[in-house]
Structure 1
Amino acid sequence: MAPRLGLFLIWAGAPVFLQLHPVNGEFLIQRREQGLLLSGPPCAFPFTYRRKIYYKCTSVNSEREWCSLDEDYVGRWKICRKGDYAKCVFPFIYGNKSYQTCTKTGSVTKRYWCSLSPNFDEDRAWKYC
Protein backbone atom coordinates (compact mmCIF):
# COMPACT_ATOMS: atom_id res chain seq x y z
CA MET A 1 0.00 0.00 0.00
CA ALA A 2 1.28 3.46 -0.85
CA PRO A 3 2.13 5.84 1.97
CA ARG A 4 -0.36 8.59 2.73
CA LEU A 5 0.76 12.17 2.57
CA GLY A 6 -0.79 15.13 4.27
CA LEU A 7 -0.47 18.86 4.72
CA PHE A 8 -0.52 20.59 8.07
CA LEU A 9 -1.82 24.12 7.79
CA ILE A 10 -2.56 26.85 10.26
CA TRP A 11 -5.67 28.64 9.16
CA ALA A 12 -7.27 31.44 11.17
CA GLY A 13 -5.30 30.36 14.23
CA ALA A 14 -6.63 26.78 14.19
CA PRO A 15 -4.46 23.86 13.04
CA VAL A 16 -5.90 21.99 10.04
CA PHE A 17 -4.61 18.68 8.65
CA LEU A 18 -5.51 17.87 5.04
CA GLN A 19 -4.93 14.27 4.01
CA LEU A 20 -3.96 13.69 0.39
CA HIS A 21 -4.89 10.66 -1.69
CA PRO A 22 -2.27 7.90 -1.79
CA VAL A 23 0.14 7.82 -4.70
CA ASN A 24 1.15 4.54 -6.30
CA GLY A 25 4.59 5.33 -7.70
CA GLU A 26 5.21 1.76 -8.85
CA PHE A 27 2.21 1.97 -11.18
CA LEU A 28 3.42 5.22 -12.75
CA ILE A 29 6.96 3.90 -13.22
CA GLN A 30 5.69 0.70 -14.80
CA ARG A 31 3.43 2.62 -17.18
CA ARG A 32 6.28 4.97 -18.20
CA GLU A 33 8.53 2.01 -19.01
CA GLN A 34 5.85 0.69 -21.35
CA GLY A 35 5.87 4.02 -23.21
CA LEU A 36 2.45 4.89 -21.85
CA LEU A 37 1.31 7.37 -19.31
CA LEU A 38 -2.24 7.30 -18.03
CA SER A 39 -4.03 7.05 -21.36
CA GLY A 40 -7.38 8.60 -20.52
CA PRO A 41 -10.18 8.69 -23.08
CA PRO A 42 -9.44 7.62 -26.66
CA CYS A 43 -8.88 9.96 -29.58
CA ALA A 44 -11.92 10.46 -31.82
CA PHE A 45 -10.79 9.66 -35.37
CA PRO A 46 -11.65 11.19 -37.69
CA PHE A 47 -12.23 14.55 -36.00
CA THR A 48 -12.97 18.01 -37.39
CA TYR A 49 -10.91 20.99 -36.22
CA ARG A 50 -11.44 24.41 -37.79
CA ARG A 51 -13.43 22.92 -40.69
CA LYS A 52 -10.69 20.42 -41.61
CA ILE A 53 -10.97 16.65 -41.09
CA TYR A 54 -8.06 14.90 -39.35
CA TYR A 55 -7.60 11.15 -39.60
CA LYS A 56 -4.57 11.05 -37.31
CA CYS A 57 -2.87 13.08 -34.58
CA THR A 58 -1.83 16.56 -35.66
CA SER A 59 0.62 19.23 -34.53
CA VAL A 60 -1.51 22.12 -35.86
CA ASN A 61 -1.23 25.05 -33.41
CA SER A 62 0.92 22.96 -31.07
CA GLU A 63 4.52 21.85 -30.59
CA ARG A 64 3.38 18.27 -29.88
CA GLU A 65 0.96 16.02 -31.69
CA TRP A 66 -2.54 16.01 -30.25
CA CYS A 67 -6.02 14.69 -31.00
CA SER A 68 -9.58 15.70 -30.25
CA LEU A 69 -11.66 13.67 -27.83
CA ASP A 70 -14.80 14.52 -29.81
CA GLU A 71 -15.64 14.04 -33.51
CA ASP A 72 -16.24 17.79 -33.74
CA TYR A 73 -13.58 19.59 -31.71
CA VAL A 74 -15.18 21.46 -28.79
CA GLY A 75 -12.06 22.14 -26.72
CA ARG A 76 -11.48 18.63 -25.34
CA TRP A 77 -8.12 17.24 -26.47
CA LYS A 78 -5.04 15.36 -25.32
CA ILE A 79 -1.39 14.92 -26.27
CA CYS A 80 -1.02 11.79 -28.41
CA ARG A 81 0.82 8.89 -26.88
CA LYS A 82 2.03 5.58 -28.27
CA GLY A 83 -1.39 3.90 -28.38
CA ASP A 84 -3.35 6.94 -29.61
CA TYR A 85 -2.42 6.98 -33.25
CA ALA A 86 -5.04 6.25 -35.90
CA LYS A 87 -5.66 2.66 -36.88
CA CYS A 88 -5.80 1.25 -40.40
CA VAL A 89 -9.30 0.89 -41.85
CA PHE A 90 -10.06 -2.37 -43.66
CA PRO A 91 -11.33 -2.85 -46.23
CA PHE A 92 -10.34 0.38 -47.98
CA ILE A 93 -10.60 1.57 -51.58
CA TYR A 94 -7.47 2.60 -53.47
CA GLY A 95 -7.46 3.05 -57.25
CA ASN A 96 -11.06 1.77 -57.37
CA LYS A 97 -9.87 -1.54 -55.89
CA SER A 98 -10.71 -2.92 -52.45
CA TYR A 99 -7.84 -3.88 -50.11
CA GLN A 100 -8.27 -6.12 -47.05
CA THR A 101 -4.67 -5.75 -45.80
CA CYS A 102 -1.75 -3.35 -46.03
CA THR A 103 -0.33 -2.95 -49.53
CA LYS A 104 2.82 -1.79 -51.33
CA THR A 105 0.80 -0.75 -54.39
CA GLY A 106 1.50 2.88 -55.24
CA SER A 107 4.28 3.20 -52.66
CA VAL A 108 7.40 4.90 -54.02
CA THR A 109 9.44 3.46 -51.12
CA LYS A 110 7.92 -0.03 -51.56
CA ARG A 111 6.81 -0.01 -47.91
CA TYR A 112 3.47 -1.39 -46.81
CA TRP A 113 0.80 1.22 -46.11
CA CYS A 114 -2.92 1.41 -45.36
CA SER A 115 -5.74 3.91 -45.53
CA LEU A 116 -7.05 5.69 -42.45
CA SER A 117 -10.49 6.00 -44.04
CA PRO A 118 -12.71 3.59 -45.98
CA ASN A 119 -11.91 5.36 -49.26
CA PHE A 120 -8.34 6.50 -49.84
CA ASP A 121 -9.26 7.81 -53.31
CA GLU A 122 -11.52 10.42 -51.68
CA ASP A 123 -9.75 11.21 -48.40
CA ARG A 124 -6.04 10.65 -49.13
CA ALA A 125 -5.42 9.73 -45.48
CA TRP A 126 -2.83 6.99 -44.94
CA LYS A 127 0.03 5.69 -42.81
CA TYR A 128 2.78 3.09 -43.06
CA CYS A 129 1.93 -0.30 -41.58
Structure 2
Amino acid sequence: MGLRAGLLLAWAFGLLSAISTDYGGKCFFPFHFKKGVFYDCVKFKAKHKWCSLTHHFQGFWKYCSEEDFAKCVFPFWFRRTIYWECTDHANLFGRKWCSLTQNFNKEKVWKFC
Protein backbone atom coordinates (compact mmCIF):
# COMPACT_ATOMS: atom_id res chain seq x y z
CA MET A 1 0.00 0.00 0.00
CA GLY A 2 1.37 3.40 -0.90
CA LEU A 3 1.80 6.31 1.42
CA ARG A 4 -0.91 8.29 -0.41
CA ALA A 5 -3.52 5.59 0.21
CA GLY A 6 -2.47 5.35 3.84
CA LEU A 7 -2.76 9.08 4.37
CA LEU A 8 -6.11 9.14 2.62
CA LEU A 9 -7.45 6.39 4.87
CA ALA A 10 -6.05 8.13 7.96
CA TRP A 11 -7.91 11.26 6.87
CA ALA A 12 -11.09 9.23 6.29
CA PHE A 13 -10.87 7.81 9.82
CA GLY A 14 -10.31 11.26 11.28
CA LEU A 15 -6.95 10.22 12.67
CA LEU A 16 -4.79 13.30 12.56
CA SER A 17 -1.48 11.68 13.36
CA ALA A 18 -2.02 8.15 12.08
CA ILE A 19 -0.22 6.99 8.98
CA SER A 20 -1.48 3.62 7.87
CA THR A 21 1.02 1.19 6.50
CA ASP A 22 1.05 -2.48 5.77
CA TYR A 23 4.28 -3.93 7.07
CA GLY A 24 3.09 -7.44 6.35
CA GLY A 25 2.07 -7.85 9.98
CA LYS A 26 -0.74 -9.95 11.34
CA CYS A 27 -4.06 -8.65 12.56
CA PHE A 28 -4.26 -8.29 16.33
CA PHE A 29 -7.55 -9.45 17.85
CA PRO A 30 -9.19 -8.19 19.86
CA PHE A 31 -8.07 -4.61 19.21
CA HIS A 32 -9.25 -1.34 20.69
CA PHE A 33 -10.31 1.44 18.30
CA LYS A 34 -11.92 4.63 19.49
CA LYS A 35 -14.37 3.45 22.17
CA GLY A 36 -14.84 -0.11 20.93
CA VAL A 37 -13.21 -3.52 21.18
CA PHE A 38 -13.19 -5.50 17.95
CA TYR A 39 -12.78 -9.24 17.44
CA ASP A 40 -12.83 -9.20 13.65
CA CYS A 41 -11.97 -6.99 10.69
CA VAL A 42 -13.96 -3.75 10.55
CA LYS A 43 -15.17 -1.33 7.89
CA PHE A 44 -15.26 2.25 9.19
CA LYS A 45 -15.42 4.92 6.50
CA ALA A 46 -13.31 2.67 4.28
CA LYS A 47 -13.95 0.78 1.08
CA HIS A 48 -12.60 -2.51 2.44
CA LYS A 49 -12.41 -4.18 5.83
CA TRP A 50 -9.24 -3.61 7.82
CA CYS A 51 -7.64 -4.59 11.13
CA SER A 52 -5.18 -3.13 13.59
CA LEU A 53 -1.64 -4.50 13.84
CA THR A 54 -1.48 -3.53 17.52
CA HIS A 55 -3.66 -4.18 20.58
CA HIS A 56 -4.58 -0.49 20.92
CA PHE A 57 -4.90 1.06 17.46
CA GLN A 58 -1.96 3.42 16.93
CA GLY A 59 -2.23 4.00 13.21
CA PHE A 60 -0.74 0.67 12.12
CA TRP A 61 -3.25 -1.35 10.14
CA LYS A 62 -3.75 -3.42 7.01
CA TYR A 63 -6.57 -4.42 4.72
CA CYS A 64 -7.90 -7.84 5.65
CA SER A 65 -7.36 -10.79 3.38
CA GLU A 66 -9.29 -14.04 3.65
CA GLU A 67 -6.91 -15.51 6.24
CA ASP A 68 -7.17 -12.42 8.47
CA PHE A 69 -10.86 -12.68 9.32
CA ALA A 70 -11.68 -13.98 12.79
CA LYS A 71 -11.77 -17.74 13.25
CA CYS A 72 -14.29 -19.70 15.28
CA VAL A 73 -13.08 -20.73 18.73
CA PHE A 74 -13.79 -24.32 19.74
CA PRO A 75 -14.89 -25.41 22.17
CA PHE A 76 -17.06 -22.48 23.24
CA TRP A 77 -19.56 -22.08 26.04
CA PHE A 78 -23.07 -20.88 25.13
CA ARG A 79 -25.73 -20.74 27.81
CA ARG A 80 -25.28 -24.06 29.62
CA THR A 81 -23.72 -26.06 26.80
CA ILE A 82 -20.21 -26.51 25.43
CA TYR A 83 -20.08 -26.62 21.61
CA TRP A 84 -17.32 -28.29 19.62
CA GLU A 85 -18.63 -27.19 16.22
CA CYS A 86 -20.87 -24.57 14.63
CA THR A 87 -24.45 -24.64 15.86
CA ASP A 88 -27.83 -23.32 14.78
CA HIS A 89 -29.05 -23.23 18.40
CA ALA A 90 -30.92 -19.97 19.19
CA ASN A 91 -30.65 -18.68 15.61
CA LEU A 92 -34.01 -17.59 14.25
CA PHE A 93 -32.97 -18.21 10.65
CA GLY A 94 -31.48 -21.66 11.23
CA ARG A 95 -28.02 -20.56 10.10
CA LYS A 96 -25.03 -22.07 11.82
CA TRP A 97 -22.85 -19.77 13.87
CA CYS A 98 -19.89 -19.94 16.24
CA SER A 99 -18.35 -17.89 19.01
CA LEU A 100 -15.17 -15.86 18.48
CA THR A 101 -14.21 -16.38 22.14
CA GLN A 102 -14.30 -19.37 24.48
CA ASN A 103 -17.16 -17.93 26.53
CA PHE A 104 -19.97 -16.54 24.40
CA ASN A 105 -22.00 -15.86 27.56
CA LYS A 106 -19.43 -13.25 28.62
CA GLU A 107 -18.19 -11.53 25.44
CA LYS A 108 -21.14 -12.21 23.11
CA VAL A 109 -19.12 -12.01 19.88
CA TRP A 110 -19.89 -14.40 17.07
CA LYS A 111 -20.03 -14.94 13.32
CA PHE A 112 -21.89 -17.13 10.86
CA CYS A 113 -20.08 -20.29 9.84
**TM-score w.r.t. structure 2 length?**
0.73
Letter in 1 for 2:86: C
CA distance in structure 1 between the partners assigned to 2:66 and 2:27 by the alignment: 12
Gaps of 5+ in 1: 1-37
The correspondence of residues 1-129 of structure 1 with structure 2, limited to 5 A, is: 40-129=24-113
Using the aligned pairs only, state the percent identity. 39
CA distance in structure 1 between the partners assigned to 2:29 and 2:85 by the alignment: 20
Tell me, yes or no, if the aligned pair for 1:47 and 1:55 is still in contact at 8 Å.
yes
Letter in 2 for 1:59: K
Letter in 1 for 2:111: K
| Bigger radius of gyration among the two | 1
Letter in 1 for 2:44: V
> Per residue, is there more strand in 1 or in 2?
1
From the superposition, tell whether residues 76 and 39 of structure 1 become closer, same or farther in structure 2 (CA, over 3 Å). closer
Q: Which runs of 4+ in 1 moved over 4 A?
A: none
Letter in 2 for 1:45: F
Tell me, yes or no, if the aligned pair for 1:39 and 1:81 is still in contact at 8 Å.
no
Letter in 2 for 1:41: G
Tell me, yes or no, if the aligned pair for 1:69 and 1:76 is still in contact at 8 Å.
yes
Please, what is the CA RMSD of the aligned residues? Answer: 1.9
Shift of 1:39: 9.3
**TM-score w.r.t. structure 1 length?**
0.64
Counterpart in the other structure of 2:10? none
CA distance in structure 1 between the partners assigned to 2:55 and 2:76 by the alignment: 21
How many residues end up aligned between the 2 structures?
A: 92
Counterpart in the other structure of 2:9? none
